[in-house]
Structure 1
Amino acid sequence: MLKRLLILFFIISIYQVAFAQSIYKKFTPQQMQEDLDTMVKFLEDTHPNPYYRYSKAQFHKDVQSVKNNIHQDLTLLDFYFLAEQLLAKLDDGHTDFHIVEDYDEINPIVLPYTFKLSDKAPYLICQGPYASFKTKIPRDAAIISINDIPAQKIVNDVINLNTGENRAFRADYGSSRFYFYLEALYKANGTYKIKYAHQSTTKTVTVKGVRQQDVEKGKTTSSVNTVNNYSLTILDKEKTAIIAFKNFDWEGYTTFADSAFTLIKQKGIQHLVINLIDNGGGDSDVGDDLLQYLLNQPFKQYEKVYVKNSILLKERLKVHRKDKPLDSADLAILNKPNGIIDTIQYADIPIKPNSLRFDGDVYLLVNLQTYSSAADFAQCFKHYHRGMIIGEETGGLIKSYGDIVPVQLPHTRLDMTISSALYDNIGAEENDWHGVVPDIAVPANRALQQTMDIIRRKGNTSSY
C-alpha cells in the first residue's frame, strides 16, 4: 500500500517552470477571496475530519477575517503566507500548500548556513556554514536576532507557517527551508545582520547571501551525508551493524536489503542499529518488507483506516489508472456516493521464509523528523517489542491523517494536498494523538552514541 508520500509525486510536473516564473504574479482581492472559499470547500469535501483539533466555527471565522483584510492586489507569495497560516491551524502535516519547490526555481538568495529551530529556548542555533564557505558564526551559537527580528518571533512565525501535528515538529521542519522565510517573508534582500551569543560573549556580524545554485545545498562543514537512501556500516569489534535510512523509497532498496542482511549474517553481527533520524517517510510497503527481516510472527503496521470518498479522491484514481482498464474495485470506488467514509480493517501480514532474518538485538533511532511511514514503522516495531527505541518522540503520530490527494486553487493555481484518510496504527487507542515515544529519550544528535554505549556495556550477546 502506498501511503503518505512526502515527496509530492502527485503534483503534475509540467506546471513547475511556468509556476516558478509566476510566484510574483499579482492577484485581485476577489480572486484570492474566491480561492480561500474554494480551499474550504476542498477541505470539507475531501478530508475525513479537518476540524479534529480546531473547531469548524473558529476556522470559518479565521478564513473570513483573512478575506476581510485583503484590500489590494497581492503576489502569489504573499497570498501563500495568508493561506498557509490558515491550514497550519488544523494540525495536519499532510494537508498543506506547496510553493517552496517552485520558489527554488528562481535561484533565490540564501543565507549559506544551517540552522536548527526549536519551539523552546534557545530558539535558533547555528549548526555551521555550507561547505566551502568560511564561517562568521561559531557552531552552536545561539542566535539572538536577525536583522533586528528576535529569534523567538522568527521561530513563532515559522511554526505558524508550517503544517504539522505539533509545534516542535513544525519548528524543526522549518529549519530545512529557513532561507525561504528570511527572503520571501522578511525581505532580507541578501543582507543578514546576525546577533548571536556564544561562550558567554555576544557579537553582531553581517553576512551576505549567495545564490542557491552557487552553494552545495544540504551539506555543512560539520555534517556527513550519504549519497543513497540506504547505507550500511559494520563495526566488527562491537559485532554491530548500523543501517541508516533517509526515506522509504523502493529505488535501490531491494538490492541494498539483500546485500546488507547477507553481510550481516556472514559477519555474525549480534547488534543491529536502524537509524530513522530525519526519515520523512515514503512507501509503507518498504517498511513491511524491512519488518520481514526483523520479525518472526505475523504483523501489520495499521489496525484500520477510515477513507473518505470524494471527487478529488476519484480524480486521483483516474489519473493513476490512465491508459489502464478499470477493475471492479476501481469501479466500486467511483460509484460510491461522495462524503461516505469507509472503514477498512487490516489483516496480519504472513511471515515469509527468509534465511536472512536477523534474530539479534535491534535498536531503533528516531527523532522529531521521523515522520509518516517512518513513524508507522517505528510504532509497529514498538508494538511487537522487537527492540529498544532511542531518541526523540517522532513527529509522525500513531494515529494520523494522510493518503494525500492533490488539487490546485482555481485562480492562483497554488498547489495543495489534502488528507483523504485517517490511519490507526497498530496499538493506537482512540485518543492517541501523539508520536512514537522512545524507551530512552535523548536529543537526536546523541542517540547513536547512547546506543553504542548500551551495546558496549551489554557485550556481545543477543536476546531475541
Structure 2
Amino acid sequence: MALILCLLLLLTSAFPSFAQESTIYQPDAMQKDLLKFKTALINTHPGIYEYQTPEEFELFMNQLNLEASKPLEAKTFYKIVLKLIAKIHDAHSGAHPYKALGKVFKNQKRLPFQVFIKNQRIFIVRNMSNQSIPEGSEIISIDASLSNNIVSEMLKHYSADGISTSGMEHYLGVSYLSFSKTYPIVFEAKPTYQITYKDYNTREIVTKTVASISRAEYVETELKKYSSNSKKFKEKAFDFKINEEEKYAYLQITRFFKDSFQEPESTYPDFYSTCFKEIETKGIKYLIVDLRDNDGGKLSNAAHLLRYFVDKPFTPTNEITTKGNDEYYLETIGDTLSFNSDFGLERKANGDYKVTNSDYLTELKVFEPIEKYGFDGKIIVLIDGGASSAGGAGPAILQEYTDAVFIGSETFGTAGVGNGINKTYIYGEYTEVAISIPLMHSDIAINEHLKRRGVLPDYEITNSIHNIINDRDVILEFAVEKLFEKKD
C-alpha cells in the first residue's frame, strides 16, 4: 500500500469544547495510555524488535514514563508518543492526535518556508514569509538553536524505515512531513521566529524575525509567488517518452497505483506494453527508469515492469506474515479484522501466520518473463530518499534481478518492518493521542543482507541547493551524460 505519513486523525465524535492548548494531562492518565500503546505494539507489530532488543525497548519505555511522571500539556505528551513510534524505525507506524487535540494541530501555524535538508544543513527552497530572504539561503539557526541540533531533534520524533537518516531528511523537504509544519510540533509553536541565515546572494550572516502563517496563507502565497504548490503526490502516476536525439527512453513512475488500489490489474501491464512496444519498434537500447519520490502502492506493479528485464520466472515477495488470526486479534485489540477469510491464514512453526490467498496480494504470485518486447539493453534506475514503501521495494527487486545501474541516493526503505496493507488504530483512553500499527510484514525476495536499509545507489549523486533553485537535475544529467556514452 502507498506510504501515507503523518496524517492527523480528526474524528467527528462529540467532545467538550475548551481551549485545548492549555489542556494538562496528569501522569496517571499518560502512563496508562503509554502502557496501552506498549502492550499493543508488543502484541501486534510485526517488527517491534527489528531495530531494538526487548530489553532496550523496556528501558526506552521506562524513560518515556519518566518524562510523563509530571503534569504535561497535551501537545507535549503527543511528542512523547512520536518518540515512541520513531524508535521502531518503521514508517508505516504512526502517532496521531485526535478529537480536540487533532484540531489544534490542524489549525497550528507553520514556518513560512519550504526547505531542503542535507547532512543536517537546512536551506530555503521557497520563501513564503514577508521577509526578503533569497531562495538558496542556508538557515544557520532558529531561535538560537543551530541547524544540526534542530535536525537531530527532529529525527528523534520522525524516522524512516531502518536507521538511516538521509531518507528522513528528504521527507522533511516534501509535503507529507514538511519541515514547515513538523518544526512547530517538535519545537514550540510561536507567532514569530528569529531566523539567522547565510544570504545566498551576498554570503552575509543575517538575522530576521519571521511570522508563522496558517496553512491557507502558506498555500495561497506559494501559489501566487511560484505559480504552483509543492506536492509529493504527483498528478501523473507514470510518464514515458523517447529522446530521439540521444536514442534513449525515459520511464518515470511516481507511484505503483494509478488512481486507486481497486483499479483493474491490467492498468500497469497495459501501460508497460505500450512503452516497450515503442522501445522495440524504434530500436532503443538505453532506458532510464525514474523511481525518485515514488510513494509506493502495489509491489506487483513493480514486478510487472521487472518481467521485461528477466529470462526466468520470479516471485517478488517470499511471504507475508502477521502475528495472529481473527481470534488472536479479537483477544488482543478487540477486532477480528476478518484476516482468516480475506487472506487464508496458515499457522507457522514460530506461532505467526502467513498469507496463503494471493488473489488480493498478487505480489505473492509467480511472475513470468515477457518475451514479446522484452528489453535486453542498458538500464539506469534513478532513486532517492523519497522512494518509500513499495516505491522502495520496487527498486530493491530491480536491483536483485537485473544488472541495472542505480544512480541517486539511498531510498526511504525497501519494505520496512511492516507494510501498509492492513493497520489497526489504538486510541488513548485518557488522552487524545492514538497510534497506528501495521499488522503485516512483507518479506521481499532480495538478498538477506540488504533488507535492513534502503536500496543503495552505485553512483551517489544528489542535487545541491544550487541545482535545486536553478531547476537543474544533475542526477538525470549524470545518467545521460556519463552512463550513456556510446563507444564506436
**TM-score bracket relative to the smaller structure:** 0.7 to 0.9
Deviation at 1:365, TM superposition (A): 0.5
User: Partner of 2:296 in structure 1?
Assistant: 281
1:238 aligns with 2:246: yes
* C-alpha distance in 2 between matches for 1:316 and 1:296: 47
Q: Secondary structure of the equivalent of 1:234? A: strand
Deviation at 1:380, TM superposition (A): 1.0
Q: Show CA shifts across 1:416-437 (max 9, x none).
A: 2224344443232257523212
User: Partner of 2:64 in structure 1?
Assistant: 66
Q: 1:391 aligns with which of 400, 403, 408?
A: 408
* C-alpha distance in 2 between matches for 1:193 and 1:14: 31
User: Partner of 2:360 in structure 1?
Assistant: none
User: Partner of 2:467 in structure 1?
Assistant: none
Deviation at 1:44, TM superposition (A): 0.8
Q: How many residues align?
A: 444
Q: Secondary structure of the equivalent of 1:458? A: coil
Q: 1:145 aligns with which of 141, 145, 148?
A: 141
User: Partner of 1:111 in structure 2?
Assistant: 111
Change (3 A) 1:266 1:231: same
Q: Secondary structure of the equivalent of 1:287? A: helix
Residues 399 and 425 in structure 1, CA contact (< 8 A), matched pair in contact too: no
User: Partner of 2:351 in structure 1?
Assistant: 340
Q: 2:476 aligns with which of 434, 448, 454?
A: 448
Matched AA of 2:479: T
Q: Show CA shifts across 1:84-140 (max 9, x none).
A: 11222232222331359956973432323211234x35x21222335xx77733333
Q: 2:305 aligns with which of 290, 294, 310?
A: 290
Q: Show CA shifts across 1:280-332 (max 9, x none).
A: 322212212222344343123233444321644997995568xxxx74964x5
Matched AA of 2:219: E
Matched AA of 1:449: E
Deviation at 1:8, TM superposition (A): 7.2
Matched AA of 1:185: V
* C-alpha distance in 1 between matches for 2:338 and 2:257: 19
1:41 aligns with 2:69: no
Residues 256 and 391 in structure 2, CA contact (< 8 A), matched pair in contact too: yes
Residues 313 and 405 in structure 1, CA contact (< 8 A), matched pair in contact too: no
What are the equivalent positions in structure 2 for 1:414-433 lying under 5 Å apart? 414-429=433-448, 432-433=451-452
Query: So what's the TM-score if we normalise by structure 2?
Result: 0.77
Residues 406 and 415 in structure 1, CA contact (< 8 A), matched pair in contact too: no
Residues 191 and 209 in structure 1, CA contact (< 8 A), matched pair in contact too: yes
User: Partner of 1:88 in structure 2?
Assistant: 86
Residues 407 and 417 in structure 1, CA contact (< 8 A), matched pair in contact too: yes
Residues 380 and 404 in structure 2, CA contact (< 8 A), matched pair in contact too: yes
Q: Show CA shifts across 1:32-80 (max 9, x none).
A: 1111001110111012341232232232233233323435554443221
User: Partner of 2:466 in structure 1?
Assistant: none
What are the equivalent positions in structure 2 for 1:158-173 lying under 5 Å apart? 158-164=154-160, 165-166=162-163, 167-173=165-171
* C-alpha distance in 1 between matches for 2:214 and 2:8: 26
* C-alpha distance in 2 between matches for 1:320 and 1:111: 43
* C-alpha distance in 2 between matches for 1:283 and 1:317: 25
Over the matched positions of the two proteins, sequence identity in percent amounts to 21
* C-alpha distance in 2 between matches for 1:274 and 1:12: 33
C-alpha RMSD over aligned residues: 3.9
Q: Show CA shifts across 1:179-202 (max 9, x none).
A: 223323333434232111246421
* Unaligned ranges ≥5, structure 1: none
User: Partner of 2:4 in structure 1?
Assistant: 7
Matched AA of 1:364: V
* C-alpha distance in 2 between matches for 1:377 and 1:316: 34
* C-alpha distance in 2 between matches for 1:75 and 1:258: 56
Q: Secondary structure of the equivalent of 1:152? A: helix
1:406 aligns with 2:434: no
Q: Secondary structure of the equivalent of 1:15? A: coil
Change (3 A) 1:296 1:419: same
Change (3 A) 1:317 1:65: closer
* C-alpha distance in 2 between matches for 1:313 and 1:428: 35
Change (3 A) 1:279 1:222: farther
1:214 aligns with 2:217: yes
Change (3 A) 1:90 1:448: same
Residues 398 and 434 in structure 1, CA contact (< 8 A), matched pair in contact too: no
Q: Secondary structure of the equivalent of 2:179? A: helix
Change (3 A) 1:32 1:245: same
Q: Secondary structure of the equivalent of 1:457? A: coil
Residues 250 and 286 in structure 1, CA contact (< 8 A), matched pair in contact too: no
1:201 aligns with 2:204: yes
Q: Secondary structure of the equivalent of 1:182? A: helix
1:377 aligns with 2:394: yes
Change (3 A) 1:327 1:128: closer
Q: Secondary structure of the equivalent of 2:419? A: strand
Q: Show CA shifts across 1:348-382 (max 9, x none).
A: 72326564444432211011222221221111111
Change (3 A) 1:352 1:433: closer
1:300 aligns with 2:336: no
Change (3 A) 1:73 1:178: same
Deviation at 1:14, TM superposition (A): 7.6
Deviation at 1:203, TM superposition (A): 1.4
Q: Secondary structure of the equivalent of 2:106? A: coil
* C-alpha distance in 1 between matches for 2:343 and 2:440: 18
Matched AA of 2:185: A
Residues 241 and 269 in structure 1, CA contact (< 8 A), matched pair in contact too: yes
Residues 16 and 102 in structure 1, CA contact (< 8 A), matched pair in contact too: no
Matched AA of 1:140: G
* C-alpha distance in 2 between matches for 1:48 and 1:351: 30
Deviation at 1:162, TM superposition (A): 0.5
* C-alpha distance in 2 between matches for 1:350 and 1:194: 54
* C-alpha distance in 1 between matches for 2:32 and 2:407: 47
* Unaligned ranges ≥5, structure 2: 261-266, 357-362, 464-472
Change (3 A) 1:28 1:417: same
Q: Show CA shifts across 1:207-226 (max 9, x none).
A: 33332123338978499875
* C-alpha distance in 2 between matches for 1:265 and 1:63: 58
* C-alpha distance in 2 between matches for 1:320 and 1:93: 24
Residues 312 and 369 in structure 2, CA contact (< 8 A), matched pair in contact too: no
Matched AA of 2:310: L
* C-alpha distance in 2 between matches for 1:32 and 1:68: 11
Matched AA of 1:113: F
Q: 2:151 aligns with which of 155, 179, 195?
A: 155
